[in-house]
């Protein structure tokens, strides 16, 4: 790890030092820098630690798993059974139900971080990360939330774990500024309590939109659901097992098209014809669609029954909004008190990662299809961008740890006495933390 000793020397003659970070604190990290302390960042750090590789996790929020702790609704449960959502090296407690609640999942992640002694640097946002070819190292620049202090982490490896859901997608709808009621994204929605007795328009018919509608019904609000696209709705369980588990098992034996036909037939028996409820199905089957486009089928937890009973009304796309009214593309218009945008999330990687090889600038996801998008050039890795939820996270995390361990061990052989130049007390803390 002689490279770390070189860093300070080269910095003196640093041709790349930009003005903004000229006075930044510099931290030499012997192991990888991991950006994001969600399930993916934690899983990668735990797998690395298990193999004796220390890492530093940088997180913009004040807690681990901020998507789950700060940006999700109260009634949220894991959509998939727990055996498909546990992180490597530590199963869920046996007493947890098949679909753990949000709080149980957060408790599990807190216990996970404790068990592997993972202590992220909280309230620090990564503003840029760039590979410095002259040093052969990644330069990761961060800004602290409160004192705005700038820090540059220098490392041989960079693991991107900022997630497919880093930023809320807020569509531009004509007349949005005119609408007098609140317009909130699901990332700010906690429960239907504040919408009691209100007419609420929910835009987007994925799992979140469907569940928010159900939640609103439970709080005596009157939800309407905007369904613009086709959507596959499947029962959460079939033949006494989870639909997801059944699909995963069938796909081992049958072609995906047969699996889809089987799932759609069973869905038809159990849920009826969803087209009659205003929910047209895509031409491609649910599993093939997930594999080719990443679009997740909705797993019904009771919303369809509410649509069927008329408690939730299905509406077409919105053409424009006015003060109290949504005008739909079919010419209808209806008054609402509030609008909830269940319009999803997007990756923020292109806004801070200067490398353009691993990630696409367009959608911030790896350019190479699963399972090949986890590794880039020069020690760059991605974890949790597989469109396969936490199962994909576990697969990535294990591969990354295995890969880095080989290099780590090779380089450790050359390690005689590692002394980082001008060490700060913080630096020593970081080295021994994760
Ligand atoms: C409502 C909902 C329900 C879901 N249910 C399931 C489920 O049941 N099963 C399943 O497998 N998957 C589910 N998912 C998919 C979900 O993406 C994963 O569960 C999981 O949260 C992904 O983990 P992650 O660590 O990759 O991303 P995140 O959980 O999004 O974590 C990324 C972290 O990176 C931080 N970050 C982002 N940008 C920066 C930056 N520039 N600097 C520093 N930190 C940064 C964020 O603050 C965040 O804490 C669900 C998703 C949603 C939205």
Q: Is the CB of 64 under 6 A from ligand 1?
A: no
- Structure-block tokens of residue 200: 């609420």
CA distances from 202 to 191, 206, 232, 330, 338 (A): 13, 11, 18, 17, 9
Q: Is the CB of 80 under 6 A from ligand 1?
A: yes
Q: Ligand 1 pocket test: which of 33, 80, 87, 162 has the largest number of ligand atoms within 8 Å of its C-beta? A: 162
Q: Is the CB of 208 under 6 A from ligand 1?
A: yes
Nearest residue to 61 (alpha-carbon basis) of 114, 108, 124:
124
Query: 421 phi and psi, to 5 degrees?
Result: -60, 145
Identify the structural domains of the chain with CATH numbers, from first to last.
22-166+347-416 (3.50.50.60), 169-344 (3.50.50.60)
**Above 80 in pLDDT, residue 330?**
yes
174 touches 320 (CB < 8 A): yes
224 touches 202 (CB < 8 A): yes
Q: pLDDT tens digits for 344-397?
A: 999 999 999 998 899 999 999 999 989 999 999 999 999 999 999 999 999 999
Q: Is the CB of 211 under 6 A from ligand 1?
A: no
**Above 70 in pLDDT, residue 17?**
no
Look at residue 121 and give its three-state secondary structure.
Answer: strand
- Rounded to whole angstroms, the Cα distance separating 389 from 300 reads 18
Q: Maximum distance among all alpha carbons in the chain? A: 75
DSSP 328-369: ETTS-EEE-SEEEE---EE--HHHHB---SSB-TTTSSBSSP
Q: pLDDT tens digits for 261-285?
A: 999 999 999 999 999 999 999 999 9
Which residues does 304 contact at the CB level (< 8 Å), separation at least 6?
A: 233, 271, 274, 277
Q: Is the CB of 395 under 6 A from ligand 1?
A: no
Q: pLDDT tens digits for 284-313?
A: 999 999 988 889 999 999 999 999 999 999
Q: What is the pTM of this model?
A: 0.91
Binning the chain into helix, strand and coil, the percentages to the nearest 5 are: 35, 20, 45
DSSP state of 375: B
Residue 433 pLDDT grade (very low, low, confident, very high; cuts 50, 70, 90): very low
Please, which residues bridge with residue 25 across strands? 151
- Rounded to whole angstroms, the Cα distance separating 80 from 72 reads 16
**Above 80 in pLDDT, residue 66?**
yes
Residue 426 pLDDT grade (very low, low, confident, very high; cuts 50, 70, 90): very low
Q: What's the chain's Rg over C-alpha atoms?
A: 24
151 touches 26 (CB < 8 A): yes
């Amino acid at each position: 790890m002689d490279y770390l000793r070189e860093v300070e020397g080269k910095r003196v003659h640093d041709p790349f030092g930009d003005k903004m970070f000229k006075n930044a604190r510099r931290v030499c990290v012997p192991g990888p820098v991991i950006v994001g302390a969600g399930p993916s960042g934690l899983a990668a750090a735990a797998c690395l630690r298990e193999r004796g590789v220390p890492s530093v996790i940088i997180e913009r929020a004040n807690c681990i798993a901020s998507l789950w702790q700060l940006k999700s609704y109260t009634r949220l449960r894991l959509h998939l059974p727990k055996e498909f959502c546990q992180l490597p090296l530590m199963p869920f407690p046996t007493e947890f139900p098949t679909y753990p609640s949000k709080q149980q999942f957060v408790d599990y992640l807190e216990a996970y971080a404790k068990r592997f002694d993972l202590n992220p640097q909280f309230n620090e946002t990564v503003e840029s990360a760039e590979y410095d070819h002259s040093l052969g190292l990644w330069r990761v620049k961060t800004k602290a939330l409160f004192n705005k202090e700038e820090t540059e982490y220098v490392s041989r490896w960079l693991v991107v774990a900022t997630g497919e859901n880093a930023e809320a997608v807020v569509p531009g709808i004509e007349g949005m500024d005119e609408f007098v009621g609140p317009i909130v994204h699901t990332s700010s929605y906690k429960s239907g309590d504040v919408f009691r007795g209100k007419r609420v328009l929910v835009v987007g018919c994925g799992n979140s939109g469907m569940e928010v509608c159900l939640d609103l019904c439970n709080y005596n609000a009157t939800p309407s659901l905007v369904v613009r696209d086709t959507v596959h709705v499947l029962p959460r369980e079939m033949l006494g097992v989870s639909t997801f588990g059944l699909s995963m098992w069938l796909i081992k034996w049958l072609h995906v098209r047969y699996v889809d036909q089987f799932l759609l037939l069973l869905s038809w028996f159990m849920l009826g014809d969803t087209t009659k409820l205003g929910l047209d199905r895509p031409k491609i089957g649910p599993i093939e669609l997930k594999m080719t486009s990443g679009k997740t089928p909705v797993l019904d937890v009771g919303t369809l029954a509410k649509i069927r009973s008329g408690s939730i009304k299905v509406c077409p796309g919105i053409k424009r909004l006015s003060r109290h009214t949504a005008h739909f593309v079919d010419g209808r218009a209806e008054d609402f008190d509030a609008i909830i945008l269940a319009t999803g999330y997007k990756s923020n990687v292109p806004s801070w990662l200067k490398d353009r090889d691993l990630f696409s600038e367009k959608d911030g996801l790896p350019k190479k299809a699963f399972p090949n998008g986890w590794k880039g050039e020069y020690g760059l890795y991605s974890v949790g961008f597989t469109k396969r939820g936490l199962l994909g996270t576990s697969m990535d995390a294990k591969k990354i740890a295995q890969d880095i361990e080989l290099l780590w061990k090779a380089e450790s052989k050359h390690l005689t006495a590692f002394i980082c130049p001008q060490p700060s007390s913080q630096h020593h803390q970081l080295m021994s933390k994760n």
